[in-house]
Structure 1
Amino acid sequence: MAAQLLEEPARLVCWFTKGTTATVELPEQDNPQLVRDMANGLIGLIHPHGQVDAESSVREFVRATRLFAAAMAKRGHVGGAAELTRPSLVEQLWVTGAAHESMIRRMLAAFDQDTQALRPEVRELVGGRAYNQKRRRDSKPLLPYDETVWSQLQEVCRTEIQEAWSQFRQAHAAAEKGRDPYQHGWSYENLCWWMVRHGPENAVSLGQRVGWTPTMAYHRMGRGADAQRACTALFPSPSVVIAYQLLFGAYTGIVPDGIADLSVEDLEWAGDAAMLVNYLKGRTAEESVTLSPRAVRLVERWLEHSAVSRRFAAQTEASELWLRHDYTHVGVWWTGPSRHESIQGWVRRARLKGSDGKPLRIHRHSIRTSFESHRDRKNWFGSGRGRIDPNHSTTAHGSRATTISRPRPPRRRMRWRRSWRRPRAIFCVRRFRRLC
């Protein structure tokens, strides 16, 4: 069994082929029976029964379920999937996005395949053509970033990582000088001391420990500025993790889904300074790559940077490589890939511009393409092999390229003609005398 539905609270426990597990809570605010029926359908879509084989995909299906159940509750539907009617379902699917409409149809179809509980007209609707067709992407290949943009992107990532690392070291040094803030005041050093020992906090959560209201906590802690500064310095934020992930992709060329799904166990030391990374590529299978020295230094820096965070996260979350904490959600840990909206917000804050002068549009597959393009160009630059067609072997074209590059010696035609005419003239005179 790849997934199981548990109660109190309602949640899905999933096991994936790469050896990881995930527990996803189900929303029960609206239509709890409909949510459970769709969750049972989702179980039939998870590998090996279906093609869903990642925690992020399961969470997106659950999100579609939550939105669908809430929307159907507003339309007056309070029962399970068996009570769905064709008119109400048509109205809801018509205003749903293409991705969520496909998920809803798939979950309902999988639920009906096991139970045969849907009405005949609803079953026909679920198996029919989607109302919102997914837009086809442009078939043009992704172009690599030019030299200026590529260098600027890496420099911005390195700058943000260096600033975050400097703040982390300062906060860690301040924690060694601090004391209990509840007895010695709410200074920056005392707040760092507390968070290193008890995990991330904000002004509200710190005040709740002694019965303060948010207004009292903000007044006594100076609006909580020191608490926010200490928390973001000790526990890397999503913005810092975006910089680490982009720079790691620029250094290694690993596919984006392979980078996002890395865990600490996927890192293997092959000596004192060499590291081997095993990652899963969705289109093929498990692959491995030996990191370059600068990529090894980046991973070492990140493991040390996130060491404090791993002490307070759950075991399943702490085992993931890209662990991050958002100050606005104290105690909530995030793993996996960064959202596209977060990356573009990071680009706007960093003021990154593309070759057209507009904000740079980050496409993580373009980073892999740029890595391979610049790596190949670096290997061929300044070499005599640059005159050979790179689509053919150097063995077949090596001699030809060498011959063409050498200048031919000038031909001495006048001397050759003179040496040829003289013997011919002598031969004709002798023949004439013989005839006479």
Structure 2
Amino acid sequence: MPTILIDQPLGITCVFSDGSRAAFSLDGLPNSLLARQLATGLVDVIHPHGTADSAGTVNHYVQAIRGMVRALAAQGFAGGLDQLRRGRLAEYLMGCSGGREACTRAMVEAFGQAGGSLADGVLELAAGRNFNVQPNHHALPPYSENEWQRLGDLCRRLVEESYATHRQALTAVAHGQHPAEGGWTPRIFAGCWPPSGR
């Protein structure tokens, strides 16, 4: 198996798709139960089950585990993910960086989807939208010729419609009267000016 969770001392070893190996220690954290459950979720995030496929990427997840366990322990939380309430998780995630939030969400979600016990609403929160928006580091694919054609057609149509509305406004100005002389009359531009009976 490419990724193995080790209990004594708590840690994780990985073999990536390029054949490289890495080991990460989670020993000595103040809440070993929470650390182990998050690491259980991490196993499903790592290749071949998930997309994490390098030591650097897995290290981000390991740092997220350490950060969450230490932060919650400092608040007096000593339970596992099954005792973590939605509100406390949301509070923690809101205080994280975007990257750490994304890593934590992925591990909590993977733990829940693998059958791990979670409190009501925690899986939905983990699977939901990030509080901290992450920038997109990947270049977007170029438009196809068909997409460029549609974009150009749309732009031309919008310019033509905008210019037609501009011309209608100029026509309306030419037929306008001062309200003291002509009274208040609402004008609705629907392609017909001036109004009938004028």
TM range (shorter): 0.5 to 0.7
- Using the TM superposition, give the Cα deviation of residue 136 of structure 1 relative to its aligned residue in structure 2, in angstroms: 4.5
In structure 2, the residue matched to 1:71 is: 71
Superposed, which structure 2 residues align to 1:50-89 within 5 Å?
50-89=50-89
**For each residue in 1:107-149, what CA deviation from the matched residue of structure 2 results, as whole angstroms up to 9, or x when unmatched?**
000011112411221111111111000135697xxxxxxxxxx
Q: Secondary structure at the match of 1:51?
A: coil
TM-score for the superposition, normalised by structure 2: 0.66
**For each residue in 1:1-25, what CA deviation from the matched residue of structure 2 results, as whole angstroms up to 9, or x when unmatched?**
2211112211111111111211111
Structure 1 residues without counterparts, runs of 5 or longer: 140-436
Partner amino acid for 2:101? E
In structure 1, the residue matched to 2:124 is: 124
Q: Distance in 1 between matches of 2:106 and 2:84?
A: 15
Q: Secondary structure at the match of 1:12?
A: strand
Q: Secondary structure at the match of 1:14?
A: strand
In structure 2, the residue matched to 1:35 is: 35
Q: Secondary structure at the match of 1:44?
A: helix
In structure 2, the residue matched to 1:11 is: 11
Q: Distance in 2 between matches of 1:24 and 1:135?
A: 27
Q: Distance in 2 between matches of 1:46 and 1:39?
A: 10
Identity %: 34
Contact residue 5 and residue 11 of structure 1 kept, 8 A: yes
Partner amino acid for 2:90? V
The CA RMSD measured in Å over matched residues stands at: 1.7
Contact residue 33 and residue 80 of structure 2 kept, 8 A: yes
Structure 2 residues without counterparts, runs of 5 or longer: 140-198
Q: Does 1:111 align with 2:111?
A: yes
Contact residue 27 and residue 66 of structure 1 kept, 8 A: no
**For each residue in 1:66-108, what CA deviation from the matched residue of structure 2 results, as whole angstroms up to 9, or x when unmatched?**
0111011122211111111111111111110000100000000
Contact residue 75 and residue 88 of structure 1 kept, 8 A: no
Q: Distance in 2 between matches of 1:32 and 1:134?
A: 29
Q: Distance in 2 between matches of 1:137 and 1:65?
A: 23
Q: Distance in 2 between matches of 1:116 and 1:136?
A: 31
Q: Secondary structure at the match of 1:115?
A: coil
Question: 1:137–1:53: structure 2 CA closer, same or farther, 3 Å change rule?
Answer: closer
Partner amino acid for 1:18? D
Contact residue 81 and residue 119 of structure 2 kept, 8 A: no
Partner amino acid for 1:31? N
Q: Distance in 2 between matches of 1:46 and 1:66?
A: 17
Larger Rg, first or second structure (1 or 2): 1
- Aligned pairs, how many? 139
Q: Secondary structure at the match of 1:96?
A: coil
TM-score for the superposition, normalised by structure 1: 0.31
**For each residue in 1:6-56, what CA deviation from the matched residue of structure 2 results, as whole angstroms up to 9, or x when unmatched?**
122111111111112111111432211010001010000111100111111
Superposed, which structure 2 residues align to 1:235-384 within 5 Å?
none
Q: Which has the higher helix share?
A: 1
Question: 1:116–1:18: structure 2 CA closer, same or farther, 3 Å change rule?
Answer: same
